[in-house]
Amino acid sequence: KRMIYLKNTTLDVPLEEMNHNESKVLINPVVVSRNGHARYWEACLSCLDNMGLVSRPYEMIVRYFDKAGFEHEDKFEGFEATVLSHELDHLDGILHIDIAEQVLNMPKEKRKEY
């Protein structure tokens, strides 16, 4: 089984207004299509203080099963597509710094300012 747990992937909601109980579990996700282009500075607990500038699709359509075993096919756009793409890479043993155009070493507090 391949499983991804997505939580709080919305950039346009202020942190204090987020519903921290919202989450989505994708079991055996399969990418149906990738469209567009987005570039974000990504960080990850797996890479400590290393953040990388990564190009990813702006939009993805993914087929997956939920926790109850029901199949879904959903569209993920913008930052949510970036997060999903990042997590899919983890399932394949790829870290964002492996595919980054540029990598910077910067502690978390400095990254927030950056």
Which residues carry out catalysis? 87
- Letter for the amino acid at 56? R
CB of 84 closer than 8 Å to CB of 4: yes
| 9-39 per-residue burial string, b: 16 or more CB within 10 A, e: under 16 | beeeeeeeeeeeeeebebbebeeeeeeeebe
